[in-house]
Chains A and B, each alone.
Chain A
């Protein structure tokens, strides 16, 4: 099972923390967790074939931000919201 699949099944336990506010231990841990998940996902790409080392780090850094942001989408309380359908203007 690839690392990102593990991630989906077992999200880090710190994910319930509210992220806004002062940097504290839980915030640092949270950041560290997503960075690790990002590094694992990039490594699974066989990134050496894709990118120079510094680019792989840049990808992992961007992916860390993205995964952290994706987690924060839970703040929207998605509940039973279904995915938007493509090929229609949203809200139409």
Chain B
């Protein structure tokens, strides 16, 4: 059987098999993860709150149930964390802020409910960019979560704690949130898999909002199959979320192994522009060649109207964020970090006319791009233009020139939020300095299964997702 570190760094799918067959018990698994958290979290600062005592009780219950043949499914007995904007009953939920530093919800978010019901062990609440209003997880109240691959670089964000925890083996999955790339960018920076499902597929009930019409909830994990397993658990209709869609349940693991022969794969070369780092370009085009070798037919897309996606999402998110925070931004301004105050200030400078113009553009862009995407089954691009930036630069590889009309990868990353289509980022290589590079696979709305299938084909053919960082203690 695997040793303690191997247990921690295995995929969710692997440990699920061991738990089901009783080769490993939930208590043993949690002990291993707890030991690793105690060793590495002082360096990574991936958690704002740990709930290991409660998780230990859940582990004993899971062990008893599995022993009696009451196995609930692949998440039963698996250590999982939640970004600290998911409400958790009886456990403080800060959203990475000083304002909510002492908030202890009396209810669970929908995702927390579903994970508990599936028998997952909730080990803690992960660090994040304050109120999800940025993408570095340099947090003025709870400290910075560095990148597990190189502690001088950012982990990304806003779900940086979740990405770092999963990359470092501090739990086998984590739930993040994504308004403009906040699951996929940190996943790319930390060398893990991050999925933003179709808008409305996973309930945001109990998830502190950033921008309602762009917010998505989704998993960060170590393999594509793991993403499918978590999605099977957390997807589903929830009338408490006005965006929630009511559709028949899908088994996202079914068909994962189907071949790509004949599949039409969209690529937009103009968006892999000179702004994209050479290492990222090389990794991306190598990945495209892998897809072609697997039988996918490359289809070049122009996507002219997509170049307006970044400014459109910036306007929509800025306006909605300003509205979300109006309850505090007049009276508790000093309690926000400077980064958040800047974001709120920009939002408050926008007019209703600006917001509506952006929502009109959203419809126009989505309509045009949707027509173009009819010629493909899936669509790929580099998740970010550059790898994780140095912390000392406060840098951000996703939102370079965030408000300009241009063709660059981050524009497509944000386009997925604008259109609500599923998008999954996975590792596709490393830079010469050893930082991970991510590629995104997107598909049409409600065709999350195709995005997963295409990503899975790539992962089965390559070894990138098997690499693990060596975190300095």
**Chain A positions near chain B (C-beta within 8 angstroms):** 4-5, 7-8, 38, 41-42, 44-45, 47, 49-52, 55-56, 58-59, 62-63, 65-70, 72-73, 75-78, 81-84, 86-92
Contacts and interface: CB of A to CB of B under 8 A. Distances in A.
Interface of B: 198-200, 212-213, 242-243, 245, 305, 308, 310-312, 314-315, 318, 333, 338, 341-342, 344-346, 348-351, 353-354, 356-367, 370, 401-405, 418-421, 445-446
Given A50-B333, A72-B311, A73-B357, A89 B213 contact: no
Given A62-B346, A76-B364, A86-B212, 20 more contacts: A45-B348, A55-B342, A62-B402, A65-B402, A66-B350, A68-B404, A69-B310, A69-B405, A72-B405, A73-B312, A76-B308, A78-B364, A81-B363, A83-B356, A83-B359, A83-B363, A84-B363, A88-B199, A89-B245, A92-B245
A89 B420 contact: yes
A32 to B, nearest CB: 17
A91 B353 contact: no
A59 B305 contact: no
Contacts of B405: 69, 72
Contacts of A89: 198-200, 245, 419-421, 445-446
Contacts of A68: 404
A70 B352 CA distance: 13
A79 B365 CA distance: 13
B345 A73 contact: no
A66 B318 contact: yes
A51 B341 contact: yes
A84 B360 contact: yes
A38 B312 CA distance: 17
A76 B356 contact: no
A7 B366 CA distance: 28
A66 B346 contact: yes
Given A65-B403, A87-B213, A91-B370, A42 B345 contact: yes
A47 B333 CA distance: 12
A69 B308 contact: yes
Contacts of A76: 305, 308, 361, 364-365
Contact of A41 (B349, B402, B421): B349
Contacts of B402: 62, 65
Contact of A52 (B338, B353, B419): B338
Contacts of A84: 213, 359-360, 362-363, 366
17 contacts: A45-B349, A47-B345, A50-B341, A56-B345, A65-B402, A66-B311, A66-B318, A66-B350, A67-B354, A73-B361, A76-B308, A84-B360, A84-B363, A87-B243, A90-B362, A91-B445, A92-B445
Contact of A70 (B242, B315, B445): B315
Nearest to B318: A66
A58 B213 CA distance: 26
What are the 7 closest A-B residue pairs judged by CB atoms, nearest first?
A69-B311, A83-B359, A89-B420, A86-B213, A65-B403, A41-B349, A90-B366
A45 B305 CA distance: 33
B344 to A, nearest CB: 8
Contacts of A87: 200, 212-213, 242-243
Which of A38, A76, A81, A84 is packed against the most chain B CB atoms within 10 Å? A84
A50 B305 contact: no
B445 to A, nearest CB: 5
A69 B404 contact: yes
Contact of A49 (B243, B333, B354, B358): B333
